[in-house]
Amino acid sequence: MGAADRLNGALETPASSGLVGVPDDMERLWTPHRMVYVADTHQVDEHDCPFCFAPSQADEQVLIVHRGTHCYVLLNLYPYNNGHLLVCPYRHISTYDEANAEEVAEMGELTQIAMRVLKQTMNCHGFNIGMNQDEVAGAGIAAHLHQHVVPRWKADANFFPIIAKTKSMPQLLGEVRERVSAAWPVPPPAATA
């Protein structure tokens, strides 16, 4: 039953149920499981941070595709699109302004490499790149800085995510990790003096 039916009185309105409010045509999707992301009831520190934990595990287990000196790259466990990567500093910092010069430089370099690798392996047409800083800006893990690199295709947007709140993912995360990791360029060995 849709919003129009409710407005026509098919369901009990807040006024008739004794609750206060004016009915509107807005659909409400109740998602109490999201409170973990929006409630400030638990401050994540490096002891329970998934981005601090990941580098201590095997790459395949935690979907890491590349380890750098100050930052590493892994697949997003809840991707917006196939091949969605995250660039994270190893150090537990929450916002971009806390990153030191080496971390900023390597995040930028790894983001560029990630774009090249995704173009090569996923044949994508464009990217969304960005950082959500703090809970109010939509950061799911606000305690640890991370940059999103989301590949996009000309026809990747359709009605399915909007209507059904379902995103079709054509490849398994492990398969994508193998593909991206295998295509990541290996730096030449450092010259010895």
CB hemisphere CA count around 140 (13 angstroms) = 13
Token pair, residue 65, equals 């595709």
CA distance 77 to 61: 11
Tens of each residue's pLDDT in the chain, 193 residues: 444 443 344 444 444 555 556 666 666 666 665 555 555 544 566 678 999 999 999 999 999 999 999 999 999 988 888 899 999 999 999 999 999 999 999 999 999 999 999 999 999 999 999 999 888 888 888 899 999 999 999 877 765 565 566 677 778 889 999 999 999 998 776 666 5
The yes-or-no answer on residue 146 being catalytic is yes
- The whole-model pTM stands at 0.70
| Catalytic pick among 66, 70, 146, 148 | 146
CA distance 69 to 190: 14
Looking at residue 125, the DSSP 8-state letter turns out to be S
What kind of fold does domain 50-183 have according to CATH? Answer: HIT family, subunit A (3.30.428)
Q: What is the structure's pLDDT at 48?
A: 82
Looking at residue 188, the DSSP 8-state letter turns out to be P
State the pairing for strand pair 71-75/126-130: unpaired
Question: Contact 165/65 with Cβ under 8 angstroms?
Answer: no
